[in-house]
């Protein structure tokens, strides 16, 4: 089981001259915990995730314990973390089970055996899409495609799981099922989970820690109730909002109106 925390030190990422992630420091993202990364469109969430995943040039450091992740080769990086992008590549003409099996085999040699096949079917059953196993990726609906991609991301139980808006195409059943299962997986295997979400109530419900990005910087970071406040909603999202607790004690964010964004 992984015991190393993830730390970002002065992480900056630029596209040309435009620095969209600006000296982000995040300490002690602990194994066994789920961090929700939230923030407005264009805040830099996807860019930050791609930076952690080693998919874009960074300045600063991404550390897992004492190990500098950028020093690892692409193969070892791919073994230690999985990253699910916000926009999935178009589905190709392979079946769901073939796709998940190829994720199981990533970085391994030889033919998959019964253990690997069981692992792949388990991932599908967990997400409630066992019935889709022999369907072609290219013939799935948007939400089904997202669930198949999730199965590919979680099947190997990597040390670090980076999911960019994994529930954006899902109905309420699958939203709750996926986040509940991801949380259980993270706790059971001591994984570090980082998930970008736009649904703030969902983030509050499933995440241990909520990190809010705004214009390339961290605008708030802490427990859901510390990070999600009416003041933060106004400052970061330019909305007037109420942060209330439902009859079961969960945080609910109700947005009343859009405020003029500061020029
Ligand atoms: N490939 C690129 N080339 C140039 N600029 C980019 C590129 N990708 C993103 N950007 C810019 O970087 C900034 C951050 O983008 P990013 O995709 O990280 O935002 P985000 O927080 O994920 O937003 P969203 O919630 O809309 O997905 C934006 O201003 C965007 O226009
Ligand atoms: Mg994004």
Cα of 46 to ligand 2 centre, how many Å? 4
For residue 215, give its domain range.
6-258
106 lies in some domain: yes
Asked if residue 204 lies in contact with residue 228, where contact means CB atoms within 8 angstroms, the answer is yes
102 lies in some domain: yes
Instruction: Place 168 in a pLDDT band, splitting at 50, 70 and 90.
Output: very high
263 lies in some domain: no
Measured CA to CA, the distance from residue 160 to residue 153 in angstroms comes to: 10
User: Which residue matches tokens 């099922």?
Assistant: 177
Sign of the C-alpha dihedral computed for residues 69, 106, 31 and 52 taken in this order: positive
247 lines ligand 1 (CB under 6 A): no
84 lies in some domain: yes
Measured CA to CA, the distance from residue 116 to residue 76 in angstroms comes to: 20
1 lies in some domain: no
45 lies in some domain: yes
Instruction: Place 1 in a pLDDT band, splitting at 50, 70 and 90.
Output: low
CA 227, 244, 246: angle at the middle one, nearest 5? Answer: 120
CATH of residue 185: 3.40.50.300
20 lines ligand 1 (CB under 6 A): yes
Q: What is the pLDDT of residue 164?
A: 97
201 lines ligand 1 (CB under 6 A): no
151 lies in some domain: yes
Q: What is the pLDDT of residue 262?
A: 65
Q: What is the pLDDT of residues 109-127, one digit of tens each?
A: 778 889 999 999 999 998 9
Extract the runs of DSSP E, i.e. beta strands, from 157-216: 160-164, 192-196, 209-214
Nearest to 159 by CA among 80, 78, 56, 48: 80
Q: Enumerate residues 6+ apart whose C-beta is below 8 A from 173.
A: 128
216 lines ligand 1 (CB under 6 A): no
Q: Which residue has the higher pLDDT, 95 or 1?
A: 95
Question: Alpha helix (H) ranges present in the chain?
Answer: 45-52, 74-80, 96-105, 114-126, 142-154, 172-189, 200-206, 224-227, 230-237
The upper half-sphere exposure of residue 127, i.e. CA atoms within 13 Å in the direction of its Cβ, equals 33
Q: What is the pLDDT of residues 212-233, one digit of tens each?
A: 999 999 999 999 999 999 999 9
Query: Which residue among 39, 45, 55, 56 has the greatest number of ligand 1 atoms within 8 angstroms of its CB, and so is best to mutate?
Result: 45
Asked if residue 186 lies in contact with residue 32, where contact means CB atoms within 8 angstroms, the answer is yes
User: Which residue matches tokens 């009416």?
Assistant: 230
26 lies in some domain: yes
Phi, psi of 193 (to 5 degrees): -115, 135
Q: How many domains does the chain have?
A: 1
């Amino acid at each position: 089981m992984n015991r190393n925390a993830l730390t970002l030190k002065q992480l900056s990422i630029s596209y040309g001259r435009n620095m969209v992630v600006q000296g982000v420091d995040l300490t002690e993202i602990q194994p066994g915990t789920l961090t929700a990364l939230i923030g407005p469109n264009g805040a830099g969430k996807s860019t930050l995730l791609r930076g952690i995943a080693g998919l874009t040039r960074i300045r600063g450091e991404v550390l897992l314990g004492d190990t500098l992740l950028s020093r690892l080769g692409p193969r070892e990086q791919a073994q230690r973390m999985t990253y699910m992008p916000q926009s999935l590549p178009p589905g190709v003409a392979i079946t769901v089970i073939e796709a998940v099996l190829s994720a199981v085999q990533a970085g391994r040699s030889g033919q998959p055996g019964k253990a690997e096949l069981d692992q792949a079917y388990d991932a599908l059953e967990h997400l409630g899409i066992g019935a889709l196993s022999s369907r072609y990726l290219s013939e799935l609906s948007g939400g089904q495609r997202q669930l198949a991609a999730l199965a590919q991301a979680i099947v190997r139980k990597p040390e670090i799981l980076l999911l960019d808006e994994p529930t954006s195409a899902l109905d309420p059943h699958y939203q709750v099922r996926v986040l509940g299962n991801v949380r259980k997986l993270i706790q059971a295997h001591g994984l570090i989970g980082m998930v970008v979400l736009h649904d703030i109530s969902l983030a509050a419900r499933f995440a241990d820690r909520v990190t809010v990005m705004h214009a390339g910087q961290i605008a708030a970071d802490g427990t859901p109730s510390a990070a999600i406040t009416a003041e933060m909603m106004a400052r970061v999202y330019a909305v007037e909002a109420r942060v209330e607790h439902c009859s079961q004690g969960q945080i609910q964010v109700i947005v009343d109106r859009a405020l003029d964004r500061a020029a």
